[in-house]
A and B are shown apart, each in its own frame.
Chain A
Amino acid sequence: DIQMTQSPSSLSASVGDRVTISCRASQRIGSYLNWHQQKPGKPPKPLIYSVSGLQSGVPSRFSGSGSGTDFTLTISSLQPEDFATYYCQQSYDTPWTFGQGTKVEIK
Chain B
Amino acid sequence: QVQLQESGPGLVKPSQTLSLTCSVSGGSISSSYYSWNWLRQPAGKGLEWIGRIYASGSTNYNPSLKSRVTISIDTSKNQFSLNLSSVTAGDTAVYYCARAAVGGPTYWGQGTLVTASS
Please give me the residue from chain B that is nearest to A56 by CB atom. B106
Query: In the complex, which of the residues A1, A96, A99 has the most CB atoms of chain B within 10 Å of its own CB atom?
Result: A96
Chain A, 53-105, CB within 8 A of any chain B CB: 53, 55, 87, 89, 91, 94-101
A34 proximal to B (CB < 8 A): yes
A16 proximal to B (CB < 8 A): no
Chain A, 1-59, CB within 8 A of any chain B CB: 1, 32, 34, 36, 42-46, 49-50, 53, 55
Residues of B within 8 A of A97 (CB): 49
Binding site secondary structure of chain A: loop
B89 proximal to A (CB < 8 A): no
Q: How far is the CA of A87 from the CA of B108 in the complex (A)?
A: 15
Number of A residues with CB within 8 Å of any CB on chain B: 24
Asked if A91 and B46 sit within 8 Å, CB to CB, the answer is no
With A95-B62, A95-B63 already in contact, the answer to whether A87 and B47 are too (CB < 8 A) is yes
Pick from A42, A43, A49, A100: contact of B104, CB under 8 Å:
A49
Q: How far is the CB of B66 from chain A (nearest CB, A)?
A: 9
Q: How far is the CB of A39 from chain B (nearest CB, A)?
A: 12
B26 proximal to A (CB < 8 A): no
Pick from B47, B108, B110: contact of A98, CB under 8 Å:
B47
Asked if B106 and A98 sit within 8 Å, CB to CB, the answer is no
Residues of B within 8 A of A96 (CB): 49, 104
Q: How far is the CA of A99 from the CA of B64 in the complex (A)?
A: 17
With A95-B49, A96-B49, A101-B46 already in contact, the answer to whether A46 and B60 are too (CB < 8 A) is no
Asked if A46 and B104 sit within 8 Å, CB to CB, the answer is yes
Asked if A98 and B62 sit within 8 Å, CB to CB, the answer is no
Asked if A34 and B47 sit within 8 Å, CB to CB, the answer is no
A-B contact pairs, 7 of them (CB 8 A): A36-B104, A43-B111, A46-B104, A94-B60, A95-B62, A98-B48, A99-B46
